[in-house]
Structure 1
Amino acid sequence: MSADTPPPPPPSETSSPQEQPPAARSAARWKVATAVVSVLGLALTGTVYVLMDQRADELRSERDTARAELEDAREEADSGLGGLEDLLGGLGGSGEGDGSDGSGEGLGGLEELLGGDGGLGDLLGTGGLDPILLQCLGGAMGLGGDGSIPEGDVRTQVTAIKDIIEAERGLPAGDDVDIEFVSREEVQRRAVERSTEDIDRQRARVDSRMLAALGAVEPGTDLAQAQLDALEAGVGGFYDPETEKLVIGSKQMDGLGAFITSHELVHALADAELGLPDQQALARRSGSDAAYAALNAIEGDASLYSQRFVGKHLPMDELLALQSTSAQTDASLDQLPHVVARELEFPYVEGMTFSCDLYLQGGWKAVDRSYDDLPDTTAQILFPDRYRDDEQAVDVTDPAGPEGWKPLRTDTFGAADLLFLLEAPGDDEDAALSDPKKRVAAWAGGEINVWGRGGDTATALTLADRGGSTPMCDTVTRFYAAAFPDATRTDTTTSGENTTFESQRQSAVVSCQGDEVRLSTAPDLPTARSLAL
């Protein structure tokens, strides 16, 4: 999760293309992403682990108890609890199966419970949950816990959690780990301080110019500060592979403490047993999309296990308290640019779904193997079949830079990067393109180039089209129109395969040839046209 060697120096306006190393995401992005525990992942996926248990008899017994308690409460208060009674009754299922295979079948209408009015989706905010996660999280009970975390001092409880992880996740508990429990405010302070020291502000400024040209942030956005703000909003604890130390943002082993501890212990134990990937080396060698895909694999593992852990081992009141904490985190992230918040949360949500897919194919051993056979692209994270098929990114055509401009950055542009843009063109989620993930499925490879001339910026985003029902040319054209609604659009062919946009802010050209699409931006139309395919 961190590099053994320092990151390469960022390209500057005085460097030549031959002097530039393969570009990597800024150091701050990696410090942020690896430091943030999946408190925010909980905010998005919800406490779905309260759904069901493989032991249907025990679940039905608890259902009956809950019904009795509800009846008593109704007699006392005559208040009515709406969908909750239906929810508890629905967990009994049809009696045609007990879900003992861990799939969750036989408990009756779980997806309907999640999405239906008055059901668990409304109660816990899980309406957007990927259905595949039901199969991975369904065996976690959560209606009272199993008492496996003992009372006592924190050190004893940490040892107990390590033993549980060894038994359930299969990672050897090993020696004592260096672990410190502090307040959440303190862990936030340390994480921000740690990242502030490492942040590459020059590269962050280049990234800001690139994202502004794509309409994802306002021009002049302090992207470094936005990343630090995201870290402060989302951090709950972190594991530092360099020092092998865990810092937990809770002073006691309450629900939050247990959740963060289980997540970070998976990182620590996996580091000792399997080794964590060197993301900065991956970025230098293969580009930032490969490094980000690796991050998704390791965070997806820890997120999947920690969600299952708290669902099985925490009582309901602590689960609901966790949900409240997560909602606060989610609200804080909503104040940030969409691409910043989304990049932070993606490994804990889509990464967890990726690990879930592996788990369903071959259990935790299959997840273990992903540490040696890392995903190469974020397309493999979003579409795990491509990981199993070892589908690699297509190498796209390199653009010639505009005359008189200095190259600032060249890097891969992954399926996740494209997804973030389509979800909020112009940083407006209300402007999202229809079915962004389906559109992103056409991604087969991508690269971004950035040039500077004084304060001006020119970019060329080149994407390979994999084929499918939604052509990439149409997607990119629609995206730019939504991101810059005030721009004047001109289609130079009837099919729209060469479209120009002009506004006071900048000009752009969408050019499509064969299986490649390029979005070129510049302060003026002639420069943008010079970058077209």
Structure 2
Amino acid sequence: MRRELLLASLVVLAGCAVPSFGGSDHPAEPMGEDAIGWENGYWYDDPVNVTTEDGLNESEREAVSARTMARVEHIRDREFTETVPVEVISRAEYRNRSRGSNGSGGPPQDPWNDQVWEALLLIGEDAGSSEAISSTLSTSVQGYYSPSRDEIVVVSPTETPLVDRATLAHELVHALQDQQFGLNGSAETQDRQLARDGLIEGEANYVQALYERRCGDQWRCVDRPDRSGGGGGTVQYPGLFTVLLQPYATGPAFVDHLYESGGWSAVDAAHEQFPDSSEQVIHPDRYPDDDPVNVTVPDRSNGEWERFDHDPVADTVGEASIFATMYHNDRTDASRYSYRSEPSVGWAGDSVVPYRNGSGGYGYVWVSEWDSGTDAREFASAYRAALVEEHGASRRAGNVYVVPASSSFEDAFRITRSGTRVRIVNAPTVDQLDGVHAPPG
């Protein structure tokens, strides 16, 4: 999951004439050093004269970008150290770039990650996780900031270069974050990446929302378009999309919690100590002290099965992804973007270890730790119910379930709970379950 390629706002700027409004009381340029709220000749409340009926030409984009930078500075109380170039491309061009990024016309296969998403019951064996992620991004991305190239790319729905003010403001926040704190780091696990993005994308959405509140009452802003005319199409993997959207949906409340506790200084400090789990973003009161449990999975496979040569060998999916599992497998009545449900709350830690054999078979061991035995029981019960009621599984002896070939999750599953810990073992057949992970002696 590449953070720089995600954006929650799904609209673009429609063609309209932007009038010139009255000027401000600021001097033409700040005296001495650069001032917060002024960039490249524009104060945050200055007018811009552009015509967007035929899109924005280069000089118009520079004017709009400069004033938007000044406005982001004014809200965030942080200074840009350099100008950020903005490129506008069509969605077709974005798709072409995405398909050609690895030189093979499509994303590479990733069987290790495939097992992680299969464990979540969100991407089945009929689709690869890399292709699913690429497809989801190609229909939902409206723009991105690239830390490696230090540039913003805005995706326009037409060949006419349209720029949405909210998208531009959002991505400029990322540029400001990169210049002030650095954005080149990455997280080892899925859950920690979602947690990290909860701050990064949450702050961008938070500042974007503050920006929008000022439009009309305090600032004159470029009109936003009719949303019915844009968009990239239907999302093919809604469960995956729910996972990817979590930082944008719950991150702003997390940032607001920080801001209310200590202003922008508290948000600055969080860039030095990212949240450790999506749980801390969903439940801001648990940051920073409620650390996740480090769950280890002993290797009990036989000679036919082995772990991948992958660093790290295991992934952690976390509360946000487990919520998506429960929502999209009809195990909760919670609101889709609340990210809180009875089967997912109480998560304390987890570890998913994918396995493979020499015959092209795949499996995994997923061990999760919960705050209480009740929480563990609720999760295990909901997961079993998802297999049976949503994927047609039949129960075999003990805690073994078999999903039939009619489902894209066709496999054998063994689900056991011991106190606050739940263990899910997956293999192609019942006979192979012990080969992947023999029961504890």
From 36, 43, 47, the equivalent of 2:6 is: 36
Q: Say whether 1:261 aligns with 2:168.
A: yes
Alpha-carbon distance in 1 for matches of 2:180, 2:296: 41
1:503 to partner: Cα distance: 4.0
Unaligned runs of 5+ in 1: 1-28, 44-145, 426-430, 493-498
1:267 to partner: Cα distance: 0.8
Q: Say whether 1:398 aligns with 2:297.
A: yes
1:167 to partner: Cα distance: 1.2
1:221 to partner: Cα distance: 0.7
5 Å matches for 1:363-378? 363-378=263-278
1:214 to partner: Cα distance: 4.6
From 49, 60, 80, the equivalent of 1:173 is: 80
Alpha-carbon distance in 1 for matches of 2:103, 2:229: 25
1:295 to partner: Cα distance: 1.9
Q: Say whether 1:151 aligns with 2:121.
A: no
Q: Say whether 1:478 aligns with 2:382.
A: yes
| AA of the residue aligned to 2:318 | G
Encode CA deviations 1:122-169: one digit per residue, 9 max, x unaligned: xxxxxxxxxxxxxxxxxxxxxxxx975522322122111111111111
Task: Check the 8 A contact 1:460/1:520 in 2, yes or no.
Answer: yes
| Partner residue in 2 for 1:289 | 191
| AA of the residue aligned to 2:144 | F
5 Å matches for 1:469-508? 470-485=374-389, 486-489=392-395, 492=398, 499-504=399-404, 505-508=410-413
Change (3 A) 1:200 1:377: farther
From 147, 164, 182, the equivalent of 2:89 is: 182
Change (3 A) 1:210 1:155: closer
Aligned length in residues: 375
1:345 to partner: Cα distance: 1.6
Alpha-carbon distance in 1 for matches of 2:427, 2:208: 46
Alpha-carbon distance in 2 for matches of 1:491, 1:367: 52
Q: Say whether 1:306 aligns with 2:226.
A: no
Higher relative contact order (CA 8 A, sep 6+): 1
1:466 to partner: Cα distance: 0.8
Taking structure 1 as the reference length, the TM-score comes to 0.63
2:82 match: secondary structure: coil
Change (3 A) 1:182 1:506: closer
Q: Say whether 1:450 aligns with 2:354.
A: yes
Unaligned runs of 5+ in 2: 13-43, 51-59, 335-339, 405-409
1:483 to partner: Cα distance: 3.1
| AA of the residue aligned to 1:394 | V
Alpha-carbon distance in 1 for matches of 2:107, 2:92: 24
Change (3 A) 1:199 1:392: farther
5 Å matches for 1:239-278? 239-250=145-156, 256-276=163-183, 278=185
1:201 match: secondary structure: coil
Change (3 A) 1:460 1:271: same
| Partner residue in 2 for 1:212 | 118
| AA of the residue aligned to 1:337 | Y
Task: Check the 8 A contact 1:304/1:355 in 2, yes or no.
Answer: yes
| Partner residue in 2 for 1:517 | 422
1:195 to partner: Cα distance: 6.6
Change (3 A) 1:166 1:181: same
Change (3 A) 1:341 1:471: same
Alpha-carbon distance in 2 for matches of 1:531, 1:151: 70
Task: Check the 8 A contact 2:6/2:137 in 1, yes or no.
Answer: yes
Alpha-carbon distance in 1 for matches of 2:169, 2:369: 40
| AA of the residue aligned to 2:130 | A
1:372 match: secondary structure: coil
Change (3 A) 1:198 1:378: farther
| Partner residue in 1 for 2:139 | 233
Change (3 A) 1:195 1:391: farther
Taking structure 2 as the reference length, the TM-score comes to 0.76
1:156 match: secondary structure: helix
Alpha-carbon distance in 1 for matches of 2:105, 2:256: 33
Q: Which has the higher helix share?
A: 1
Alpha-carbon distance in 2 for matches of 1:167, 1:147: 10
Kindly report the root-mean-square deviation, in angstroms, between the aligned alpha carbons of the 2 structures.
3.0
| Partner residue in 2 for 1:424 | 328
1:531 to partner: Cα distance: 4.1
Task: Check the 8 A contact 1:401/1:407 in 2, yes or no.
Answer: no
Alpha-carbon distance in 1 for matches of 2:204, 2:69: 13
Task: Check the 8 A contact 1:37/1:237 in 2, yes or no.
Answer: yes
1:199 to partner: Cα distance: 8.0
| Partner residue in 2 for 1:349 | 249
1:462 to partner: Cα distance: 0.6
| AA of the residue aligned to 2:48 | P
Percent of counterpart pairs with the same letter? 22
Change (3 A) 1:193 1:354: farther
Task: Check the 8 A contact 1:230/1:344 in 2, yes or no.
Answer: no
Encode CA deviations 1:89-116: one digit per residue, 9 max, x unaligned: xxxxxxxxxxxxxxxxxxxxxxxxxxxx
1:38 match: secondary structure: coil
Change (3 A) 1:35 1:503: closer
| AA of the residue aligned to 1:156 | A
Alpha-carbon distance in 2 for matches of 1:198, 1:355: 38
1:192 to partner: Cα distance: 4.8
| AA of the residue aligned to 2:193 | A
1:306 to partner: Cα distance: 1.4
Change (3 A) 1:514 1:298: same
Alpha-carbon distance in 2 for matches of 1:149, 1:180: 22
Encode CA deviations 1:334-386: one digit per residue, 9 max, x unaligned: xx223321232222112223222222323333222211111111111111111
Change (3 A) 1:252 1:166: farther
1:263 to partner: Cα distance: 0.8
| AA of the residue aligned to 2:324 | F
